[in-house]
Chain A
Amino acid sequence: MKRIYVKEEWCLGCHLCEYNCAFANSGMTDMVKALRGKTIYPRIQVETDENGITYAVSCRHCTDPVCVKSCIAGALSVQNGVIEIDHSKCVGCLTCVLVCPYGAVIEDGSGVAQKCELCMKNSCGTPACVKGCPNGAIVYEERQTVSAPD
């Protein structure tokens, strides 16, 4: 299946992906109204390493997802390879945050969990972070499965 991958060498560290993510999932049609003056809780997060290299981290849609196995509410599930969260069932226990090895499940600012769902449930339809990346540093494509890191 197609997943989101990053190309560190192309990432400018501009954080636009975070804003595009927050906007795509805001349910609003005007970016300024959606984001101005607000603290955003994007599902993709830009990191900077000690050498100044930047890259974005979002849900890996693991083949053996520990968040799904750990969800105490049965709110996380795998649907055609995509790890989805049923917001009507999530009670905000944040066990998923405690177990995600990549720090990719995050609290949404109101106390419940949220994560990248590849923009399949919002109006964007294709990952907003990929579409809006000015330097092509985030891609959405098929790649080989590698074994989980030690």
Chain B
Amino acid sequence: MKRYVIIGNGVAAAGCIEGIRAVDADGSITVISAEQYPVYCRPLISYYLEQKTDLQRMHYRGESFYAEHHADVLYGRSAVEIHADAKEIVLDNGDVYPYDELCCCTGSAPFVPPMQGLDTVENKFSFMTIDDTLALEKAVTPESRVLIIGAGLIGLKCAEGLHGRVKNITVCDLAPRVLSSILDDKCAAMMQKHLEANGISFLLGTSAKEFQGNKAVMQNGAAVDFDVLVLAVGVRANTAIIKAAGGAVERGVLVDDACRTSLEAVYAAGDCTQYHDISSDTIKVMALMPNAYMQGHTAGVNMAGGTALFDNAIPMNSIGFFGLHCHTAGSQPEGCEMYEESDETHIKRLFVKDGRLTGFMLIGKTHRTGIYTALIRNQTPLSTVNFERLKIEPQLAAMGSAYRGKVLKGAV
């Protein structure tokens, strides 16, 4: 009987449990959970603040998930060392757990750059976990002035979540535009305008240089008075435990399409990893929840002796603010061509290189965009589809009758 150990208890870990059990009903599964909660949906913390969900509904799986999968969870414990040769891990309380197959799902942690005087700020929060969120919720009042450092996905979802519960919200970012990791200038400008119309203020191209209690002095000289500070500059993959064990690590733990690390019998999945993006043919950190699940599941199947590959990973994001939705996927490689369509209420940018769709940015109209995503994932030659019709709207009708026949006339 195999002994499986999973470090971490997020969505990648849940995928790993389900992947293992798809193959092996008998092996023991031990999950090391630093947080005190069963697996929950981390991106839902902003929806919690918005009161669109609650702690109960934020559970990723049902109450009997671990019991049904015969998995034991050690809550409030962290793994501090992996002894890959001896195939055992050491916990923070000194306990040693032997394993036959290990999966590292350690996730990521907020990155806080050194900022002078940050220790003088009393009410400062990260926005990654339920505990962060509950602490932030406790600290805000309808009179709070909130300053958020970072106009990325986390910072802006936090702003949306707090909107209506505080007096005002200012978001600053060193980047000259919002959502700089997923949107280009024109798309970002559209989203920023919409956020501003909903009462969010921005200071872009500058960040806090120094804090003096409840005052931030920006690099451009501006000063912002605030009551609550949220640090959402970015996240870093938690790679230390693999690195210390001698595993290959760059910005994340390097994994192949089977989610294997360079260490024997050690797999990794989720935000801690760095892996192949087929849309740009580069190896990068793509800290995305869908990919975390798919990596975890892939790792689990392989750990249990099955065969699985996650070999069509791409970056993708579905994110909306105050009713304006945005879908992005893939990449914009150098030398790509762009097809654009836009008006006051929407924008569509499709990127094509070497006869294949490599990426898109869509704001305002997101109907059936998965058809575009599939073109990127499958690296479909555009010569085999009616791309002129696809540009106008995603539709199976433009994919050719053979493809349609397969999809609509048989089970897939």
- A residues lining the B interface (CB < 8 Å): 3, 5-6, 8, 47-50, 53, 55, 57, 60-63, 66, 69-70, 72-74, 88-89, 91-103, 105-107, 111, 143-150
Instruction: For A47, list chain B residues within 8 Å (CB).
Output: 395-397
Which of the residues B15, B44, B386, B404 comes within 8 Å of A91, measured between beta carbons? B44
Which of the residues A97, A106, A146, A149 comes within 8 Å of B327, measured between beta carbons? A97
* Given A3-B411, A49-B401, A97 and B318 contact (CB-CB distance below 8 Å): yes
Taking the closest CB of chain A, its distance from the CB of B68, in whole angstroms, is: 13
Taking the closest CB of chain B, its distance from the CB of A129, in whole angstroms, is: 13
Question: With contacts defined as CB atoms under 8 Å apart, how many contacts are there between chain A and chain B in the complex?
Answer: 145
Taking the closest CB of chain B, its distance from the CB of A108, in whole angstroms, is: 12
Instruction: For A60, list chain B residues within 8 Å (CB).
Output: 407-408, 411-412
Instruction: For A96, list chain B residues within 8 Å (CB).
Output: 370
Contact call B408/A55, Cβ cutoff below 8 A: yes
Residue of B whose beta carbon sits closest to that of A101: B374
Residue of B whose beta carbon sits closest to that of A81: B411
Residue of B whose beta carbon sits closest to that of A47: B397
Counting contact residues on chain B (CB < 8 A from A), the size range is 35 or more
Q: Is B336 an interface residue (CB 8 A)?
A: no
Residue of B whose beta carbon sits closest to that of A146: B410
CA distance A66 to B290 in the complex (A): 9
Instruction: Choose the segment among B51-59, B168-176, B188-196, B343-351 that binds chain A (4+ C-beta atoms closer than 8 Å).
Output: B51-59
Instruction: Choose the segment among B97-105, B211-219, B241-249, B361-369 that binds chain A (4+ C-beta atoms closer than 8 Å).
Output: B361-369
- B residues lining the A interface (CB < 8 Å): 15, 41, 43-44, 47, 52-53, 57-61, 289-290, 293-294, 297, 316-320, 323, 325, 327, 329, 366-371, 373-374, 377-378, 386, 389, 394-398, 401, 403-404, 406-412
Residue of A whose beta carbon sits closest to that of B14: A74
Instruction: For B411, list chain A residues within 8 Å (CB).
Output: 3, 60-61, 63, 143-146
* Given A6-B409, A103-B368, A69 and B373 contact (CB-CB distance below 8 Å): no
Contact call B290/A72, Cβ cutoff below 8 A: yes
Residue of A whose beta carbon sits closest to that of B410: A146
